[in-house]
Amino acid sequence: MIEAFIFDLDGVICTTDEYHYQAWKTLANELGLEFSRAKNDRLRGISRMASLEIVLEESKIEYSAEEKVDLAEKKNAIYRKLLCNIHPEDALPEIPETLKALRERDMKIAIGSSSKNTKDILGRLDLLDIFDAIADGSDITRSKPDPEVFLCAAGKLGLEPGVCAVVEDASAGIQAAKAAGMLAIAFGGDAASDPCADKVITHPSQLLAL
């Protein structure tokens, strides 16, 4: 019996996955590197530093640890400029209504995201207070596919993993949900084609029928 839904943020609650893509592409192109949509899919759900390693895969230059920190900060600055455009209307279709309806059914709802920008984004969307718990990039040391962020969210909710369902657009997030012992629900992204997903939805309101 499911008692809680743990939502990924980027690509599930809002389209900030597109802003991540644009920011990484800007940085990669400045460094003379190609950056494709396929490569971007590999960055879904994983941390900023781990993403940078993938972005730099084809680079002929060996960057020092310090230079990598600077590059990750540069990407985040580009990304944060794009976040200024986010308003409550930018939540994905059906998300605010579905969150509200789940709460009305006494379901707990939480965020489980690798992003350190989570609370800023939820504030801009006017969705900061609707969640019972938020676990984000500041709470964890290992990003998805490690289950840490989802176990942290379940812990904050005071629930066992087995009664939690995860909603994800990242294949890394589906792997993390399964490793946590949770139901894994794919919603868009590369999660939708992951054979490990327990369910695939195309509209958030489908969660109400589970």
Of 46-65, which residues contact ligand BG6 (CB under 6 A)?
46-48, 51
User: Does residue 10 have an active-site annotation?
Assistant: yes
Q: How far apart are CA 48 and CA 69, in angstroms?
A: 10
Q: At its nearest, how many Å lie between ligand BG6 and the CB of residue 74?
A: 12
| Among positions 14, 27, 43, 170, the unique one binding Mg ion when judged by CB under 5 A | 170
**182-189: long-range contacts (C-beta < 8 A, 24 or more apart)?**
182/6, 182/150, 182/154, 183/2, 185/210, 187/12, 188/11, 188/12, 189/11, 189/17, 189/41, 189/44
The answer to the question of residue 78 lying near ligand BG6 (CB under 6 A) is: no
Could you tell me the strand order of the sheet in which 183-187 lies? 133-135, 108-112, 4-7, 164-168, 183-187, 199-201
User: Does residue 90 have an active-site annotation?
Assistant: no
Nearer to ligand BG6, 162 or 193 (CB): 193
Q: How far apart are CA 65 and CA 137, in angstroms?
A: 20
| Among positions 5, 20, 174, 187, the unique one binding ligand BG6 when judged by CB under 6 A | 20
Rounded to 5 degrees, φ, ψ at 47 are -65, 165
Nearer to ligand BG6, 140 or 154 (CB): 140
Total residues at interface with Mg ion (CB under 5 A): 5
Q: Is 209 exposed, middle or buried (0-12, 13-18, 19+ CB in 10 A)?
A: exposed
Which residue minimizes CB distance to Mg ion? Answer: 11
Nearer to ligand BG6, 49 or 210 (CB): 49
| Among positions 14, 45, 78, 134, the unique one binding ligand BG6 when judged by CB under 6 A | 45
The window from 110-118, 155-163, 178-186, 191-199 that contacts ligand BG6 (CB under 6 A) reads 110-118
Q: List the one residue out of 47, 42, 40 whose CA is nearest residue 23.
A: 40
Q: At its nearest, how many Å lie between ligand BG6 and the CB of residue 96?
A: 19
Q: How far apart are CA 46 and CA 17, in angstroms?
A: 12
Alpha carbon 122 to its chain's center: 12
Residues involved in catalysis: 8, 10
Which residues bind to ligand BG6, rule: CB under 6 A? Answer: 9-10, 17, 20, 43-48, 51, 76, 113-117, 137, 170
